[in-house]
């Protein structure tokens, strides 16, 4: 469960590096992503060891996700720490999105680059501008996903605490109460499925909007006054090219 709740932080780190290294990001070795995944896995195993190191597992359990009562305090403490980290992560992603918006706008208007997140004048290559556009779109996607993640995880903690506070008063049978807790704790697995579908949907929407935007900028109007002007410019361009070629042959 820690993997799915901490993983968005690694995505933020990767997006930050992509923004800082936009000029050479495509040429960088694919090391950062696997390294971050490995670090998160090691952190997850370390947390599991710390939480359960003194537990003798003397009582029965219907699920690994339902931890012993003796470990409830450190587990919920860990959950609230993760929630705070995810809120900070969302706020930092808003900052990244704003920085990417500035970079994208300045790259298209005033040729600039940045050092230590500040701007200085310098020419951007076409590849760098394309990479900045990709970083902007991917950061926009990440902001939406991380916001959804933080909202869901906050709702999850609220329902778990509510179950712990009033669950025993509403459900007297301990077996039924355990079953309810098992259903609530399996919400994380349900979230992993839902967030995957949501991510694909948001990605397709962003890509479709980008395609429409590109087509609108690339297509040349062929009707009305703008179409007539484009037609005249094309004819004059052909005429000038033919006249220039004829003059060279005469000389």
List the chain domain ranges. 2-53+71-217
Residue 40 has pLDDT above 80, yes or no: yes
Q: Is residue 43 within 8 Å of 114, Cβ to Cβ?
A: no
Q: pLDDT per residue over 98-129, tens digit each?
A: 887 777 777 666 544 444 444 444 556 666 66
Q: Among 68, 38, 40, 41, which residue's Cα sits nearest to residue 53?
A: 68
Q: Three-class SS string for 209-247?
A: HHHHHHHHHHCCCCCHHHHHHHHHHHHHHHHHHHHHHHH
Residue 203 has pLDDT above 70, yes or no: yes
Q: pLDDT per residue over 151-163, tens digit each?
A: 888 888 888 777 7
Residue 135 has pLDDT above 50, yes or no: yes
Lowest mean pLDDT among 86-90, 180-184, 192-196: 180-184
Q: Tell me, what's the pLDDT at 239?
A: 62
How does DSSP classify residue 66? S
Q: Is residue 67 within 8 Å of 75, Cβ to Cβ?
A: yes
Query: What is the model's pTM?
Result: 0.62
Q: Which of helix, strand or coil describes residue 190?
A: helix
Q: Tell me, what's the pLDDT at 120?
A: 46
114 φ, ψ (degrees, to nearest 5): -135, 150
Calculate the CA 70 to chain-centre distance: 36
120 φ, ψ (degrees, to nearest 5): -145, 150
């Amino acid at each position: 469960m820690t993997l799915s709740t901490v993983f968005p932080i690694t995505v933020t780190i990767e997006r930050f590096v992509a923004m800082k290294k936009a000029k050479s990001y495509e040429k960088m070795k694919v090391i950062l992503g696997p390294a971050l995944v490995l670090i998160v896995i090691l952190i997850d195993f370390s947390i599991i060891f710390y939480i359960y190191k003194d537990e003798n597992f003397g009582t029965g359990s219907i699920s690994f996700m339902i931890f012993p009562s003796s470990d409830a305090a450190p587990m919920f403490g860990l959950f609230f720490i993760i929630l705070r980290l995810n809120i900070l992560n969302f706020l930092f992603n808003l900052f990244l999105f704003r920085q990417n918006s500035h970079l994208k706008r300045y790259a298209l208007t005033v040729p600039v680059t940045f050092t230590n997140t500040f701007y200085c004048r310098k020419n951007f290559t076409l590849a760098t501008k394309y990479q900045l556009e990709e970083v902007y779109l991917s950061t926009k996607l990440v902001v939406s996903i991380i916001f959804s993640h933080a909202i869901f995880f906050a709702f999850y903690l609220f329902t778990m605490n509510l179950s712990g506070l009033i669950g025993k008063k509403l459900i007297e049978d301990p077996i039924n109460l355990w079953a309810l807790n098992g259903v609530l704790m399996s919400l994380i697995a349900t979230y992993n499925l839902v967030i995957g579908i949501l991510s694909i949907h948001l990605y397709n929407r962003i890509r479709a909007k980008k395609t429409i935007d590109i087509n609108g900028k690339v297509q040349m109007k062929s009707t009305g006054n703008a179409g007539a002007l484009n037609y005249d410019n094309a004819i004059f361009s052909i005429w000038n090219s033919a006249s220039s070629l004829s003059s060279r042959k005469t000389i």
